[in-house]
Structure 1
């Protein structure tokens, strides 16, 4: 299956939404950018079942461990570079404040713990890495359920699980944000949120197959308009509409997720004028992978840069937004190229460690 360029463009767009959400957090310009993360979870759920069906159709049903290892390698090299760079910066800040080298090592190691991807299990830090750790855990769960139940899970269980988990989340709190909050003191909400939205992405895969069988006059125009309206509504609401009462926030979050789901079903089906428009520009297709990886790198690097700015930068929100965005883009570019070399090194080390069975 060819890459969906529209999704990759949207990944970058929503990555910038997350950047400004964190930059503006706690200010009068604060936006509800946390909902952009649910876009990434829904897309990831769709990608999991798409990969599963592709492997199955090829007669190569791989296990959970092998799939997770493949998933991990898609971002671990880039994560390693980003974490190492910020670990050095964080250690330097600690040394500058104390003049003690042991504080440099302690602070640097604290940042290096991000590489272990286990924050949703309650270990190490609970900040930036919650999304990636939740993604890996939920991917493993969904892959196992697909191998065990296949279409029964994707068609029936996935939407039911989504609804049940969202009910649990909203029963415990007023919004799907605050990922490190413990639900009933048992499990972190970020993990349930990830599983709910990824199950919705799995169900979106089935809806795409169903929608492709429906034909009507000017369907590409109609679906394209619906697709554009859904995405624009989500973006406008994230930027400008912020309900304050508990009921309003629950309805708001649900509506944004539903709109993202409807829009993504149309986007993945490639049956709209948006798809036709994007296909006209071949250079976008050639940059599809860079857009997809770049969105993740932007997410990684901006959070580290914000953390450094909070310790060293002046109290100027306009300047902070400008500097964070520019530095995040530069770091993402460096991270992308460095990550490719790190990946080659990891693959070479694995190849040398595991002898060929020829």
Structure 2
């Protein structure tokens, strides 16, 4: 009998996407309030989770196509990165356009003594690195859709890492990745300025690149751990133990997640086990995975991407134009959610129309 797909990882992506949404929405809440204290860590560790998943799926993709790609590792790395971006290119550029228009309106409103043409030209020049996804190389001038720094950092780091994975898979998965991930994670922990920011530069490396390197290497290690679970704990007698481990880790991480944040130094150590939970989930050997096999869950990954790419535009509108300024912050959260839903719907519609247009042109005989 054909096994059903497990969408538990997609559900986790959706959860962390909502956490990133609430992290950015926290600026709508009163300074020093409980909402800010709770969500202060959600942004950093939400993105760290996505880096872990990206690294895990990179390793999984390589191992599935290993015999085909090992012959030309450089070209294989380029193909992988290009394919990775093509899967999100439509949402990326459409949401970039939304944010560009909003940023232009904000700049016009803030600098009324400057001509619209000058403002537009400066915005175009400043957005070139982001348009070509290289802002995390250090040439970032402005943030049109600031959340896309994650995509830039991920692709920049994946290109050499995938080549390294092709050349030395055993060394990369079992030696380099866990060592690099732990060393960088320890480095972030010892920083004295709170959560290590993507714009903090250490020599020639942006903070975003270092965070991507840490997370993707942790993800590759997570894949190796998940594979070990599949190979050595596949018997049904282990499923109860794995389920218990997953429940305990989930409860622990959730408690850390929802309690007000302490120092970043303490939170780094407290949330270190995230890759262990992801490994158990990805292995599919826990009984909890059976709860995430409903067919409708296949849409949740797409929804997560739409929310991630479009929520920043909603926050920009609310903050820069003081929308609902005197309303309670929960109502401003609701407004941000409604605007995000509108942008998501518009983005999905435009992407569908563009895809349909190009499909019709491609189907016409020459």
Q: Please state how far the C-alpha of 1:188 moved relative to its aligned partner.
A: 1.9
Equivalent position of 1:208 in the other structure: 226
User: What are the ranges of 5 or more consecutive residues in structure 1 without an aligned counterpart?
Assistant: 353-358
| Deviation (angstroms), 1:128 | 2.4
Q: CA 1:59/1:81 → structure 2, altered by over 3 Å: closer, same or farther? A: closer
Native 8 Å contact 1:77 1:340 kept in 2: no
Q: Post-superposition shift, 1:160?
A: 0.7
Equivalent residue number for residue 121 of structure 1: 137
Note the aligned Cα RMSD (angstroms): 2.9
| Residue among 322, 331, 345 paired with 2:334 | 322
Q: 2:76 aligns with which of 35, 40, 63?
A: 63
Change in 2 beyond 3 A, CA 1:186/1:172: farther
Q: 1:215 to 1:296 in 2, by over 3 A?
A: closer
CA distance in 1, matches of 2:283, 2:253: 20
Q: Check if 1:292 corresponds to 2:301.
A: yes
Looking at structure 2, the residues matched to 103 and 236 of structure 1 have their Cα atoms a distance apart, in angstroms, of 50
Moved over 6 A (4+): 344-349
Q: Is the 8 A contact 1:175 1:253 kept in 2?
A: no
Structure 1 Cα separation of the partners of residues 223 and 250 of structure 2: 19
Structure 2's unaligned 5+ residue stretches are: none
Q: Tell me if the contact between 2:9 and 2:281 (Cα under 8 Å) persists in the aligned partners.
A: yes
Provide TM-score, normalisation by structure 1: 0.85
Q: Identify the match of residue 292 of structure 2 among 264, 275, 278.
A: 278
Tell me by how many angstroms 1:74 deviates.
1.4
Contact 1:120 1:134 in 2 (8 A): yes
Aligned equivalent of 1:165: 184
Q: Under a length normalisation based on structure 2, what TM-score does the superposition of the two structures give?
A: 0.83
Q: Is contact 1:294-1:336 (8 Å) kept?
A: no
SS of alignment partner, residue 63 of structure 1: helix
| 1:1-358 alignment, distance < 5 Å | 4-25=6-27, 26-28=31-33, 29-30=35-36, 31=39, 32-34=41-43, 35-57=45-67, 63-96=76-109, 98=112, 100-103=115-118, 105-106=120-121, 109=124, 110=126, 114-124=130-140, 125=142, 127-173=146-192, 175-183=194-202, 185-212=203-230, 213-214=232-233, 218-244=237-263, 249-258=264-273, 260-279=274-293, 281-284=294-297, 288=298, 290-312=299-321, 313-315=323-325, 316=327, 317-342=329-354
